[in-house]
Structure 1
């Protein structure tokens, strides 16, 4: 089932509550900084980059500090292993190891006297059949303009999870409401035709690329939880909750980490928007 996640914050106008307000200063204790991990390995040629930073106070508006001088080792189930090189502060990169569909990977991180491990796998991904444009005019709920349609098969066998990424002139469309993920629960083994991947139109001459990524099941739910927290604003916002992670301290009593190291397989297709 294709699931597009939209922001619900705009449903309530905070301006409606603008009136007499009292400012209340709340003295919140700063949380202990945690290791934050961001990166992935794919079935495409590397290098693959892992970014390490430290978390900061919830309301702080500053760049997360980089974690320098860590030791990162990546291994797979076939016995390949590689120590990553720090190419910039907090950014660590492979040089030889290549991801492969069906393989499992373990990322080991040693820093500040602690050891963390993240396990992932690269799942299968279908081929993209067609990637097309369509012009919409005078359609309810749509702005006039050019949209893109995805067409392709879904592999037989329930348990596949995917993410769609759209690039406009080599820039990822990365607004929270453009996080598009799907499971095959209701479409297992069927042909997926004319799926609209965005509600915002493109312009003539735009180079548009779609990437279809397979996701490990746990990473699929990580993206769901991350989306929920990003859009957890407005009148009915709930207290922030921790998003799951696959980065675990080997010492159960040691400091915890956040973030995710994921394995993905990737297929892509591109078009240039042409006038009607």
Structure 2
């Protein structure tokens, strides 16, 4: 219960500020490359919560191909579940199940074929105002014709993922089906001595929709606030987050060497 008092009158207005219910958040990814499958499980923070950690331990996490047998993850750290030495094949639906406190949260994602990076170009940006000068990355891909394709571009600089809060590099071939597409990277800039790795992910529509709505909600951390405008999730039973099965291609470059060549 909160009270608001105004100097212009004596009446006290009382407002009920109900504590919000914590909601489970699941972030699950599997790839066709030889990398561990990872599922992160946590809970949103109540408005007046005092807990400094929202990690969910003790969940039963599994993945299976549609109509197949499940393989179970091991909890490597609180709220972090990993499945090692397992390879996902393209052109299949995969289903992730997370069982916690008697409820099973499920999502499925289609793993598309890997689309290779055709080329990379760099363009110098002069910078102005709050924006720094430096090189921007363009990634080119030969889009397969007759298939709805969705892409996400991630960039690593000197081994660390580049993150721009509220901005995600997403692309659809809706207007460019079957053509050579130039995917323009947005706001980050890079310097001559930077070592860059460009990762081009081939994602499904559900993943594209999730990150597209997430980007529109002004801030990556929206899922931790249980906002009424949470992004579209492909998990059922009211869980937030997403499950993405994707393939990817990577290409490393050193900006200085690439410019000189």
With the length of structure 2 as denominator, give the TM-score of the two structures.
0.81
Distance 1:60 1:130, change over 3 A: farther
CA contact (8 A) 1:46 1:94 kept: no
Distance 1:85 1:228, change over 3 A: same
Render the CA deviation track for 1:225-253: whole Å, top value 9, x for unaligned.
11122359xxxxxx84132212213xxxx
Please tell me whether residue 28 in structure 1 is matched to residue 17 in structure 2.
yes
1:188 aligns with 177
Aligned residues: CA RMSD: 2.8
Deviation (angstroms), 1:64: 4.5
Structure 1 residue aligned with 2:235, among 244, 247, 251? 247
Q: In structure 2, what is the Cα distance between the partners aligned to 1:35 and 1:240?
A: 15
- Using CA pairs under 8 Å that are at least 6 residues apart, name the structure with larger relative contact order, 1 or 2: 1
Structure 1 residue aligned with 2:46, among 53, 57, 75? 57
Structure 1 residue aligned with 2:27, among 38, 45, 52? 38
1:160 aligns with 149
With the length of structure 1 as denominator, give the TM-score of the two structures.
0.77
Question: Superposition pairs for residues 141-160 of structure 1, below 5 Å?
Answer: 144-160=133-149
Q: In structure 2, what is the Cα distance between the partners aligned to 1:188 and 1:102?
A: 19
CA contact (8 A) 2:76 2:82 kept: yes
Higher mean C-alpha displacement, 26-35 vs 157-166: 26-35
Distance 1:62 1:211, change over 3 A: farther
Deviation (angstroms), 1:191: 0.8
Uncovered stretches (5+) of structure 2, i.e. residues with no partner: 1-12, 221-226
CA contact (8 A) 2:127 2:134 kept: no
Structure 2 residue aligned with 1:197, among 158, 163, 185? 185
- SS of 1:265's partner is strand
Question: Superposition pairs for residues 101-116 of structure 1, below 5 Å?
Answer: 101-116=90-105
Deviation (angstroms), 1:142: 8.0
Q: In structure 1, what is the Cα distance between the partners aligned to 2:118 and 2:50?
A: 43
Higher mean C-alpha displacement, 57-66 vs 37-46: 57-66
CA contact (8 A) 1:81 1:97 kept: no
2:8 aligns with none
- SS of 2:39's partner is strand
CA contact (8 A) 1:229 1:240 kept: no
CA contact (8 A) 1:245 1:260 kept: yes
Please tell me whether residue 174 in structure 1 is matched to residue 138 in structure 2.
no
- Structure 1 stretches (4+) deviating beyond 6 angstroms? 59-62
Please tell me whether residue 79 in structure 1 is matched to residue 61 in structure 2.
no
Deviation (angstroms), 1:267: 0.8
CA contact (8 A) 2:164 2:188 kept: no
CA contact (8 A) 1:34 1:258 kept: yes
Q: In structure 1, what is the Cα distance between the partners aligned to 2:14 and 2:75?
A: 41
Structure 1 residue aligned with 2:88, among 78, 85, 99? 99
1:225 aligns with 213
Please tell me whether residue 267 in structure 1 is matched to residue 254 in structure 2.
no
Distance 1:60 1:152, change over 3 A: same
* Structure ranking higher in strand proportion: 2
CA contact (8 A) 1:82 1:96 kept: no
